[in-house]
Amino acid sequence: MCAIFGIIGSYDETVAKDNFIALAHRGEDDSAFVASEKYFFGIHRLAITSFGKNIDQPFVEDKYIIVFNGEIYNYKKLALELGIDEPSEAKVILESYKFWGDNFVNHINGMYAIAIYDGNELKLFRDNIGKKPLFYSQKKDEFWFASEIKALGNNLQIDKKAILPYLSFQTTLAPNTFYANIFALPAGSFLSFKDGKIMIKSSFSPLKNKIIYTNSKDAVDAAKDALIEAVSKRIPSDNISWGSLLSGGIDSSLVAAMASEHQKIDTFCMGYEDRFASYDERGYASKVAKHIGSNHYESILTKEKFFDALNEVEDILDQPLGDPASIPLLALLKDVKKHGKRVVLTGDGSDELFLGYKTYKEYHDIEQASQLKYKNWLQGFLRSHYSPNKEWEWYKRVFGGSLLFRSTAELFTDLQQNRLLKQNVKDDNSLQYLESYWKEFEQSGRKNIIDWYSFCDMKVKLGELFLTKLDRVSMACGIEARSPFLDPSVVNLAFSIDPDVRFGQTSKDIIKQISYRYMPSDIVERKKRGFSYPYMEWLLEENELELIRRVQREKKIFNDESLEFILSKAPSGGFKHHIFALYMLCRWLERN
């Protein structure tokens, strides 16, 4: 697990080294680079698979230079297939590329951002789900790439158009970022840079999988087997200290339970002070830990720790991110690091792949309203009786024949933005950011809207929001986060299950059926709670929302009346996620 950095073309050596050093936090063990007048390739290494070995990157052989960030779980198997003696991950990547060409990514199993340069053409590859980030920028005769934006230059120009997708989805969507001329390589894509021209192609679509599993029993058995293997391959070798995050929810609990069948493991969870007991789920985590026999450790997030972590998160993320979970995650992983851990297992991806969010059921029910024979009156009534709540927008879309589901990451609807911002935001403006995903869905031939729910959230909520948070925060702590649910075999299997079977009678029905075999039934059956903690109470206690008003007085971005309406709901808990996203945006704007 590393940071990679590179330049093709002429460059200033001092500037290149300074920008390369900006990524040092991602690799605490080693740093190395190779350079000439025409290129610069560097890597900072957090050694996991290569722990105890000399650094072998940048990997230079024949005409090729390779740098890569990530883990290739099947590199030893591929080495045998390709006849490679004393293999390393970089060596296997190169030989796989020589043998299969660009399609080599269909043969490797892992999370990665890979750069391959042959002296004439640079190619960048990013893993299917987007676990590992990769950004790039073209400046005159220079092409730069890096694991984080902070290494791509100083005095960057802000792209104000990014505010709209951020308000829609709590993040920007690839290829766009908050900075002009800096782009994110989309997940499951590869980029070619040759003769000053950029070409990007998609290399992965789970929608191409054929439906194989048409009944619940077969789907459960196949998913269980795939998850057992995915967990097993992510357990590090004996010389690496590792643990598992355990929130007490079904996903992290299942991963920890499966891992504990290999050996006694360490588990970690976050809780809160007594006065915020309603948010605290340590009791559930403790019960699971006792059941699986793990060494269990608890951390407490206090208001002081919250603000310390908040200040650090800003620097870590580079861009605004509207997910409040980034802050307790940073505080928790700092404690995990104090226990000497270099790897943690997580439950990320289960909700998106196996339809765990309760709002999926709500969306699916509302979809049925489009079939009402006499809906014109309702459509007119909605238009003349505005409500700021999301349900109003949902019904308006259905009656108006627009696409209802736009990811569970959707925060401010188009009309909410139109009222909030000092600019005209048209109905369905947010659809433009999902256009490529919807086009891919339509071209796949899939007709069941449930598949769209899962695919859209895999791309947006998981790929752009949650995995951005997980990568930046874990790497800032010197920890590699591994997510068994995101194994290619599990992802492909999920989209090989009949969508109605995957949807089930209850949310995440397939995962629940597997979980009965690993944990107490009351843990499996307990009502799912959306993650929350007392961030709004702390922001109010410290009068932090005044920052939003201060930025508004300076920059005049928002409509004063609409902004005050939203902020007035904070003490009662209304619109708190919206307010947090505004708060993070305004903090970032004030700094930049």
First vs last C-alpha separation in the chain: 30
Per residue in 106-132, pLDDT (tens digit) is: 999 999 999 999 999 999 999 999 999
Residue 9: per-residue pLDDT: 95
- The pLDDT of 220-240, averaged and rounded, is 94
Rounded to the nearest 10°, the torsion over CA 412, 415, 416, 422 is 110
Cα–Cα distance for residue pair 335/506, rounded to 1 Å: 35
Using pLDDT thresholds of 50, 70 and 90, give the confidence band for residue 251: very high
- Kindly report the length of the chain: 592
The token pair at 283 is 């009791």
How does pLDDT run across 415-439, given as a tens digit for each residue?
999 999 988 999 999 999 999 999 9
Does residue 50 carry a pLDDT above 70? no
Mean pLDDT over 549-575 rounds to 96
* Mean pLDDT of the region 273-299: 93
DSSP 460: I
Give the SS3 label for residue 268: strand
**Maximum alpha-carbon separation in the chain:** 73
Domains and CATH numbers, the chain: 2-204 (3.60.20.10), 208-355+470-525 (3.40.50.620), 534-592 (no CATH)
Please state the rounded mean pLDDT for residues 169-174: 98
DSSP helix/strand/coil, 323:
coil
Report CA dihedral (98, 100, 104, 107) to the nearest 10 degrees: -120
DSSP string, 462-488: IIIIIHHHHHHHHHHTT-EEE-GGGSH
- Residue 349 makes CB contacts below 8 A (sequence gap 6+) with 129, 458, 462, 483, 485, 486, 490, 491
pLDDT greater than 90 at residue 55: no
The rounded percent of the chain whose pLDDT value lies above 90 is 83
pLDDT at residue 340 greater than cutoff 90: yes
Percent of the chain at pLDDT exceeding 70:
99
The pLDDT of residue 390: 87
Q: 52 falls in which pLDDT band (50, 70, 90)?
A: low
Per-residue pLDDT at 377 exceeds 90: no
Looking at residue 383, its pLDDT comes to 81
Note whether 511 and 223 are within 8 A (CB): yes
Give the pLDDT band of residue 156 (cuts 50, 70, 90): confident
pLDDT tier at 238 (50, 70, 90 boundaries)? confident
Distance in angstroms (rounded) separating the CA atoms of residues 495 and 222: 12
| Entry pTM | 0.95
CA angle 464, 479, 245 (to 5 degrees): 80
Report residue 46's pLDDT band, with 50, 70 and 90 as the boundaries.
Answer: confident
| Count of Cβ atoms closer than 10 Å to residue 65 Cβ | 22
CA–CA separation, 106 and 127 (whole Å)? 10
User: Please, which pLDDT band fits residue 295 given cuts at 50, 70 and 90?
Assistant: very high
What's the average model confidence in pLDDT over 352-365? 95
pLDDT at 155 over 80: no
* pLDDT mean across residues, the chain: 94
Output Rg (C-alpha) for the chain, integer angstroms: 24
CA distance 514 to 220: 6
pLDDT for the residue numbered 110: 95
- Res 387: pLDDT: 85
Residue 190's DSSP bridge partners are 125, 201
Question: Residue 335: which residues within 8 A CB-CB, separation 6 or more?
Answer: 268, 297, 299
Res 51: pLDDT:
65
pLDDT band with cut points at 50, 70 and 90 for residue 379: confident
